[in-house]
Copies of this chain bind each other. A is one copy, B any other.
Amino acid sequence: MVSISAKLHLVNNSANQCAGTAHAPAGLSARMQKTRLSITHHARELTAAHGFTGFTVDQLCVAVGISRRTFFNYFATKIDAVFGHDDDGIPVGALDRFIASRPAGLVGISPTLQADLVALIIEQLNRDEQAIGSTQGFFAAVHREPELLERMVQVGPERQAEFLRLVAQREGVEPTHPGLELLVHSLQFATIKAIDRYLASESGLSLAEQYLAVLKMGQDLYCQPLTRQ
């Protein structure tokens, strides 16, 4: 029997339904993107505190400081707000910098691919560091509420697949390249471990520093021989 943990990831990767639901126009201003992020941030905080059914859109609007009308300019439903817009995962401009940082004239996978991905994720962690405390409570709530869980099992793999497509395109390989999939998956999994340590630790290390420390510990093991000599 293939382990259930492994199977869980098969499930995670078998959903491909698009999760894009926001109504805001393309090319948002910085102010509008900040509002959209703030809606999702507060929606998650409220979910963590009261459960998904424990607050209304009106209460969410009060928390954010916007009108109902403004809310519906950004999201069609409360659950859409909770899961956020597809484009809000990565800070504006960071993806372009990631794409541009591949050395020109290279053939095959860049020797700086991992470093470029780590730099991209660190930009994201630095942006989210202040709001990260509510993340854990939110995901505990997702786990308790089947409606949220089902949505997450759809949205997670879709976004991961979309990100993999971008990385594969930069590298000129297929998105099914197993090395890429393993790397991206592992770098994302490591963010969770880094967040756990950041929230539990009194070391004063930043989230980015915790992330690099976690990656280093993983790398020490990944680079061991795969078979006994």
- Across-interface contacts of A138 in B (CB, < 8 A): 7
Alpha-carbon separation in the docked complex, A40 to B135 (Å): 36
Contact A5 B118 (CB under 8 A): no
Residues of A contacting B: mostly? helix
* Cβ A3 vs Cβ B89 within 8 A: yes
The complex places the Cα of A11 from the Cα of B150 at a distance, in Å, of: 12
The answer to whether A88 touches B215, judged by C-beta atoms less than 8 angstroms apart, is no
A140 to B153, CA, bound (A): 12
Q: Which residues of B contact A11 (CB under 8 A)?
A: 139, 142-143, 149, 152
Given A124-B2, A178-B214, A190-B182; A115-B227 close (CB under 8 Å): yes
Among listed A47-55, A58-66, A191-199, interface-contacting one? A191-199
Question: What 17 new A-B contacts, CB under 8 Å, besides A3-B191, A5-B188?
Answer: A3-B159, A3-B163, A4-B155, A5-B156, A5-B159, A7-B152, A7-B192, A10-B136, A11-B139, A115-B226, A143-B153, A146-B149, A180-B221, A182-B222, A185-B189, A186-B218, A223-B223
